[in-house]
A and B are shown apart, each in its own frame.
Chain A
């Protein structure tokens, strides 16, 4: 059975802090690892990672994949209150682009 585990489950930080969110996976026929941000409604896409060791970056957010150790991290530097959300990671498997999601990390950024 495909499995994706995220840690921590929740996190409270002060504005300006740096946070690291973790995602490990055990799936068959792995294709890619995706990160999504979910605020009030639908998840919105952040990153897709297919190759080990290549950092993807978008502003204060960055992510990297380790296909040997089967994990990914999402870093957020200089956090802002607008970063408060649930961050989901998902492993894409198979030919039908099925995604197996982790339970998410709930991040709260306080002033």
Chain B
């Protein structure tokens, strides 16, 4: 049972390069999220997808685009990477509902991105 799988785990980019972080979940969750984690800043929401076919901006969306390819997959794209985007990126998913624990996020292992 893989849960939430992110690729790549590590990536080094030069300023201006583009790349896509991939995320897939096998738990039949409806909602998926992309967070970034920086020292002293906690986890900040970049974009989320409440259900297949919808995406919405989070707290820090500038410089990113997302695609909810299907129910399983949610990708994050950096079109022109900047040093300020050096961070650890986490994908997460859940199946929002009324039951206890239904709104708990399951996180992927993270992708460490360095932009030089």
Interface residues of A (CB under 8 A from B): 4, 31-32, 34, 41-45, 48, 50, 88, 90, 92, 95-104
How many residues of chain B have a CB within 8 Å of chain A? 28
Min CB distance A43 to B, Å, is 5
State the CA gap A99–B103 with chains docked (Å): 10
Instruction: Determine if B50 and A102 form an interchain contact, defined as CB atoms under 8 angstroms apart.
Output: no
Instruction: Knowing A88-B42, A98-B48, A102-B42 are in contact, say whether A42-B104 is a contact too (CB < 8 A).
Output: no
Which 5 pairs between the two chains have the least Cβ-Cβ distance?
A42-B107, A101-B43, A103-B42, A101-B42, A97-B96
Contact of B101 among A48, A95, A98, A99 (CB under 8 A): A48
Instruction: Point out the residues of chain A lying under 8 angstroms from B61, CB to CB.
Output: none
The interface residues of chain A lying within 8 Å CB-to-CB of B43 are 43, 88, 90, 99, 101
Question: How distant is the Cα of A88 from the Cα of B56 in the complex, in angstroms?
Answer: 24
Measured CB to CB, the residues of B under 8 A from A are: 4, 31, 33, 35, 40-45, 48, 50, 56, 58-59, 90, 94, 96, 100-101, 103-110
Q: Are A32 and B42 in contact (CB under 8 A)?
A: no
Q: Are A48 and B42 closer than 8 Å at their CB atoms?
A: no
Whether B42 and A97, one on each chain, are in contact in the complex, defined by CB atoms closer than 8 angstroms, is no
Q: Is the CB of B100 within 8 A of A48?
A: yes
- Residues in B with CB closer than 8 Å to A104 are 42
Please tell me if the beta carbons of B96 and A41 are within 8 angstroms of each other in the complex. no
B42 contacts A99, CB within 8 Å? no
